[in-house]
Structure formats: structure tokens, C-alpha cells
Structure 1
């Protein structure tokens, strides 16, 4: 794993078919300290570029001449060589349904057009957090022995959460696709933390939290809830019912690090 001395060491690939938008975003990246920026305008070009020179971060527009960012992220995540590629969207798209697939696919950030320099820098730092491994500082646990159960019906989301936890030194991770599967694992194995999605089939995050809190053998386990609707009023009710922390999607490393430090310490 490479260690970066500065943001200027990062390499970016900007996928943007509009000349005007390309110039605007490139200037903003340059102002943020990014000097290594390659360009492409289609999915085909991007995939070809990834095979030769994989960047630290792909920044993509939503709509491209040969498809959408959803199509691009699928090709990237379904290739073993690129499945952990850091990805960010900059788009004027506001429709939640159109953006949901990207949120579930483990993008680092979704920035609106026009975006603020502050939000861009935050996304760049999230990239750095994923590239540079640094064990989370916990008073009561050794990150290397921390046992975590990640519960999410999205395979891509499970991979992204796992990758984020790995960069913090957390390696002992088990997976469940829904609350029912999680309960089976919780009965068989011991865990120090549960990270669960909110929306899942069979048994959702709220029902899983309730089942854990009502079981004397499991009630002590901290729960981090992850949702793409983290402002939802339903989630504030869940927080009162026993969730220790709520985190939004995209799953930002620095935010997760702070939340875990609070609930595990």
C-alpha cells in the first residue's frame, strides 16, 4: 500500500464529456492541490485507461455518450482488478432514485453542480483516508482483533464498508445479507460491533436492532446504522430505540472513524 506525503501526490481521472465542465472541474482540482489529472469522456475510454494507468480517484459526470455513471460503476465494481477503485460523482442530477445505485456501490462522494471547494476538498481527503492505512485509535480494543458483522443486502455496499474498515486496521469481518442472516451469525459467533444497513428485505435494520436489544446475550453489542436517507425522521426514532450511531451513504472514512471511536470507547 502506497503512502502519500501530500494531496499533490494523488492521481485523478476526470470523466466529463463537456469541454466547459471539464475546464471548470480541472481548475477546481488544481486549486485544491491536485496536479496529476487525466481526462476521458466515455465509459469505453475510461475502462481502457483503467487497464493501463489506474488513478487514485475517478471523478465522473452522471451522463456520458455511451451510458451513465451507473453503467460505469458497474463495470468497475464487477472487475476484480478495479473493484476497489475510489469513485466520486459530480452531477446536476437531483433524483434520489437515479443516485441510489451509486450510493449503494460505495462512491466516496456525490457532489452537485455547481459544487463548493470545501465539499471537493472533503471528498479528496476521503480518498486519502482510503489509500493510507492507519489503525483506528481505540482505548478498549485492538483494531486487529475487533470482530465486526456487516449486514447489507447490497454486495457492493458490503465490499465498500469492508474496505473502509480494513484501512482502519479492522480485518475480522463477517457478512450477512439481511437481519435474519445476521441473527443466525450472532447466535453462532461473538462480535464487538454490528454495522447494518437500514433498508433490507426479510428483516430490516430497525427489526435487527430491536432483536439484538431484546436478547440479553446480544444487547451489549454496539450498532452503527448506515442509510442513504440518514436525515429520515424514522431513523431518529431508531436512534432512541438502541442504535449507537447513524451514518449516511456515501460511507466516508473520516466520519466512520470518528463514530467508531465514540461508540467503541
Structure 2
């Protein structure tokens, strides 16, 4: 897939309190061709910097542990601000506990990079951000103009992130539900061509929704794409057995979502 934006076009705001770690990441960014790199040491400093500077092609690369807030709190504040909501966010952390990382995955972050990491791993995360900022036209808008999609996720930030991606490729007929139970209500009287759902949700989770669609819905053949932060392989295997069409991890690569959507389209 050809990229429409090079890493030289990206401007990075690095949020890192450690001078040594900041120097390391800066060298890696420069090694990947990033020309504009600004650095702040705290979450509040990052928010102030973003409020005072141009945001075009801006990517935020942040550590998880900051002196005044966590990287999770920083991305949450960003996602609640209409001016910052669309900025790609890359988390750099040695943290592995799901309870610490799941909020970042649910926020619509582009990538989570585990320490220690290589320059190539950082580069892949940056390319994902570039793809999100300026998506390649790898789907003909005419093919998806009439596509009806149902987004099911209890995270409003995650739904906004997915909706923006769908709208960028030309999909305009998008319904939303906050959990599987709400989705059942939508599916009862609204025909859709694709369901994109999270796994972990209250009331009715993604596995239960998939089972309902396959066994009870009048739309039992609709493709189901699960975009989830779930890491338990047993649970994911149960979802596959329930009849999901494809599974994509959070944080998700925008190009992967586009390919999965393209595969779900009727083939000539």
C-alpha cells in the first residue's frame, strides 16, 4: 500500500519527563526521517503546548507515567476536546497490566509501543499515524457510498475514532450502539451491510451479540468485524466459533480496518 504522506511531513510532540529517554526517542525519530520534534515534560505542559501551536500533521508520542498525570489521562483529555480529538496518539510504556493499558486502547490511540523498543517499531507506529492523518485512497468511494454500517462500542471515543475512519473512506450511513443490547434493537428494524463491534461491553458483549446475530437475527448473514483490546485467547476463540468474520486488535491500524472492510464488500 503506497503512503500519501512521508514521515518528514509529520510534526511530533514528545511528552517525556526523562531527559535520557527523550534523547533516545528523539534520535530514533530523527533516524526515521522526522524533521520537527518538540518536547514537553508533563501532561499539562502538553495540553498547553497543543493549545498554543499549529496542529497540522501533529502526532503526540507520550510516556505513560508523567509527573502530573498518566498518559492515559492525557489521551482521555485530548479525546474529550474537539480540537484535539483527531490527533494521533502513540503511547510508549513498559507497562503490561491490562487495567493500565485498556483505557488507552479504548481511546482510539494509534499505537502502544512496549519498552524496550527498536527504531523500526517506532517507525511502524509513525507510519500508522501518517496513514491516519492522510489515508490513501485504496477504496473506491463509489463502492462504499451506499454501505450501511453499525458501530457497537461502549467507548464514545472509540466510536468517534472508527466513525471518522469510515467517513474518510466514503461511508456515510453509520448507526451507533453503546452495547450489544442496544445493537439488537437497531438490528431489529434497520438493515445493515456490516457490523463493527467491540468485545468487552456491558449488558451484552461482543460474543453474545455475534451469537444473537448468527442464531436469531433476520440479518444472520451480515459480516461482523470485531475490533477489540481483549487479549484472552480462549475468549477470542469463543468469539471466532460464534461466527465473527474477522478480529482486529486495539489499537488498530487504519489500513488494516480498510482492508477488512474491503474484504467484507460484495465481490464482483
Q: Which residue of 2 aligns with 1:115?
A: 117
> Which stretch shifts more, 242-251 or 71-80?
71-80
Alpha-carbon displacement from aligned partner over 1:136-167 (angstroms, at most 9, x marks no partner)? 4369x722221110001111111112122223
1:4/1:10 contact within 8 Å kept: no
Aligned to 2:36: 36
Instruction: Tell me the secondary structure at the aligned position of residue 220 of structure 1.
Output: coil
Q: Determine the structure 1 residue equivalent to 2:248.
A: 247
Map of 1:170 onto structure 2: 171
Structure 2 distance, partners of 1:121, 1:228, is 22
Deviations 1:176-208 (A, max 9, x none): 001111111112212110000111111111111
Aligned counterpart, 2:97: 95
Q: Answer yes or no: is the 8 Å Cα contact 1:134–1:167 preserved in 2.
A: no
Q: What's the secondary structure of 1:125's corresponding residue?
A: helix
Structure-2 residue corresponding to 1:142: 143
CA contact (8 A) 2:110 2:253 kept: yes
TM-score (norm 1): 0.92
Structure-1 separation of matches of 2:122 and 2:173: 32
Give, in angstroms, the shift of residue 50 of structure 1.
0.7
User: 1:145 aligns to what SS in structure 2?
Assistant: coil
TM-score (norm 2): 0.91
Deviating above 6 A after TM superposition, structure 1's stretches of 4 or more consecutive aligned residues are none
1:181-196 matches, within 5 Å, as 181-196=182-197
8 A Cα contact 1:222 1:243, kept in partner? yes
Q: Does 1:71 align with 2:77?
A: no
Matched residue SS, 2:192: coil
Deviation, 1:104, is: 0.7
2:227 alignment counterpart: 226
Pick from 45, 59, 62: which aligns with 2:61? 59
* 1:44 positional shift: 1.6
Q: What is the CA distance between 1:169 and its match in structure 2? A: 2.3
Unaligned runs of 5+ in 2: none
Task: State the match for 1:202 in structure 2.
Answer: 203
Whether the 8 Å contact between 2:79 and 2:85 is mirrored in structure 1 is: yes
Corresponding residue for residue 21 of structure 1: 21
Task: Give the Cα–Cα distance (whole angstroms) in 1 for the partners of residues 187 and 217 of structure 2.
Answer: 12
What residue is the counterpart of 2:83 in the other structure? Answer: 81
For residues 217 and 74 of structure 1, the distance between their equivalents in structure 2, rounded to whole angstroms, comes to 38
State the aligned residue count: 262
